[in-house]
Structure 1
């Protein structure tokens, strides 16, 4: 049985993102941007310039 007739599947599509430097960079950039947005939403009420207790 030859596998050459088979169409590429979902796993091959996902692997193509890792093997292509442009796509992999794009995936990492989008993921880090989404993480930054999530962190910014969580830190809305946080006072970064709060006075230190002595």
Structure 2
């Protein structure tokens, strides 16, 4: 009987972790969707900015 209770307790703990993980994933998806339309990425401008920042250090 004790073995069954330990097994059930472990299963419930795993289910809680799974639910928490799903909630975090859903929250991240909601955040991305709320951030607006994607903007084009300018790799040249990005590299210039990174070089500028590293020169300031």
| TM-score, length basis structure 2 | 0.48
Runs of 4 or more, structure 1, over 6 Å off, are: none
Structure 2 gaps, min length 5 = 1-7, 45-57
**Structure richer in helix, relative to its length:** 2
| TM-score, length basis structure 1 | 0.51
Question: Alpha carbon RMSD of aligned pairs, Å?
Answer: 2.4
Count of residues paired in the alignment? 35
Q: Which has the higher contact order (CA 8 A, sep 6+)?
A: 1
Structure 1 gaps, min length 5 = 1-18
